[in-house]
Each structure stands twice: as structure tokens, then as C-alpha cells.
Structure 1
């Protein structure tokens, strides 16, 4: 059985949830799920492929992701490694914000990162207002109001397009 490593950087857990869904789509792969914030070096040669998922918060990927890329750059370049980012802007599928070409976050990532993944995905995340602290709830509500999103702070809304994630999983398997 082939082995895959799933690395994630997530604030509220949606990125990890997406990776668990991808794992379910790939029953012939043995997948190991690892929090990117808890590792520095990993031997990629132990895996047939690697998938990294990271969430956007206030317009940025976590700096730990970039530190991981710097520390593991040669392995990232020489192995089958894919990347996806999770953000609320990707909910605007009709505007192409859910594609690598249409995502400002992916464009910024590709400029900032010395690693250029061969396969890139962009998925809408989720709003978890009741779980946020007062500052985050206020800021995210403000951002959502500016961008035409949900502002009811009693709600949790999942925007992830699971069909799109399933297609990405198939593409990842065939890398």
C-alpha cells in the first residue's frame, strides 16, 4: 500500500477536516496526518506523496509554513508534493477566487515561497463565529460585512465545496 503524508496548518480545524475528507477519498493510500506546527524535519522518502494544507488568517498564511518550506526545500522540490490553501474568499466561486489563478493568496504565496508546487488547490473554509474570541469575532464580522458575507455571529457556516475537494483528491492520487 502506498503511503502519503498530510501536513496541515490550521487555526479553527477546517484545513484538518479537509485533509480527513481527502483521506476518505483515497482508501488505497495509507495517510499519516501531522500538524505542521509540531515538526521541523520530516523524511519525505518514507512517503510516496505529500500533501500540505494551510489556512489563511487575516490575509496571511502562518509563518511556520514558510519556515517549514525553508527547512525542507530540497525534499519539497524532489518529491511528489501538492499544496492547498483554505480561505473564506474562495467562497466566491463565481469570481474564480477558488482557483490558483484567481486567488490573491496563492499568487502571494508563489512570489514569497521558493517552492513552487506542481499541484495547487484553493478551498473555501468555514465561519465559526461562536468559537472565536471577541477580537476575532469582531474583525471577521467586519471583513465579512465588507465582502458581502455572513455577519450573524450566532452562526457557523461551512463554505467548503466538497465535490471540488474530491476532484483535487483524485488529482493528488494521480501525481
Structure 2
């Protein structure tokens, strides 16, 4: 019997996307998973894995350009693979914005990217004011004020719904 192998690639700014990737690996069985920072994944042997999961965070309304470069470089392998995608952003803290259909970021991604993942998850991230540079803290505070979110810059707030991450992970496991 062939052992299940998962490759989880992540593109993260402050670490929440990586934290979600680690959580998924625990759910899937860490010994069956490889976690790699997408920004450092210059060559990937997709043949070593049954399933590929890519996670990426949004910063100032956009995914990192390296995500799109990775997709362009590996499009044939991604299309041939059992491949899934999840997005991490602060607007997903609001109901309705936490689904692929309700996420403007995912809708933009699907228009911009030639890759169409088998399934997409949308998870709320974390607001980590004390870790941000002064500029990022002020900009994110302004965005949070406009979206009626937390504006106290001394706080760290994790919005990730871990049960939702579990459900997404289990749906990947079941599809094998």
C-alpha cells in the first residue's frame, strides 16, 4: 500500500498562514506531511506527493507576487495534481466573506490565475499589531477602523476559526 504524502506550501507575512499549515499537518498526521515556505520552493518534486495544499495570505488586498510566479512556473504539475488552496485574510472574520464565493480576494485570484484548485478554503487570519512596523500598524488600523474591526494597536487578536480549518482538512482527506 502506498503511503499518503501531503505537501503543504505556504506564503505568509506574519506567520498565521504557516500556523494554519502546521495545524493541517497535525490533522493529516505530521509524518505524512512536508511543509515548505513557497517563497523558498525553487524546485519541487510533485511526484513525491499524493496531495498538494497551497496556503497564501493577503496583505493590502493582494497575494504575494511569488504565489503567482510559483503557479505560472508549475502550472502543468498543479493541474495534474490533487491540489487545493486556502487563503488567509482579515476580512474573512466576517460571515459571508469567509467562503470562496464571498471572498473578493478569491474571486480576483480565480480571474487572475490560470490554476483552478480542486477546493478552496478561506480562513480569517490574525491581527498582530505589536509585531507590525509603525507604517503597517497605522495602515492596518485605518483599514480596521473602516471595516469596524479592532483598532487598539496594543492587541493581538486571532480570528482563525480552527473548526473551519479542520473541516477543510477533513474534506481533503476524504477526497483521496
TM-score (norm 2): 0.96
In structure 1, what is the equivalent of residue 21 of structure 2? 19
3-state SS of 1:123 partner:
strand
Alignment size in residue pairs:
173
Q: What is the deviation of 1:29? A: 6.0
Please, what is the CA RMSD of the aligned residues? 1.0
Deviations 1:31-76 (A, max 9, x none): 0000000122311111010100000000000000000000000000
Residues 1:4 and 2:11 aligned together: no
Q: What is the deviation of 1:27? A: 2.2
Kept in 2: contact 1:2–1:28 (CA 8 A): no
Structure 2 gaps of 5+ residues are: none
3-state SS of 2:53 partner:
strand
In structure 1, what is the equivalent of residue 106 of structure 2? 106
Kept in 2: contact 1:18–1:165 (CA 8 A): yes
Q: What is the deviation of 1:130? A: 0.3
In structure 2, what is the equivalent of residue 151 of structure 1? 151
3-state SS of 1:2 partner:
coil
In structure 2, what is the equivalent of residue 118 of structure 1? 118
Q: Which runs of 4+ in 1 moved over 6 A?
A: none
Structure 1 gaps of 5+ residues are: none
Q: What is the deviation of 1:24? A: 1.2
| Aligned pairs (5 A) from 1:1-175 | 1-27=3-29, 30-93=32-95, 96-175=96-175
Q: For structure 1, which segment, 18-27 or 76-85, has the greater mean C-alpha deviation from structure 2 after superposition?
A: 18-27
TM-score (norm 1): 0.97
3-state SS of 2:98 partner:
coil
Kept in 2: contact 1:2–1:29 (CA 8 A): no
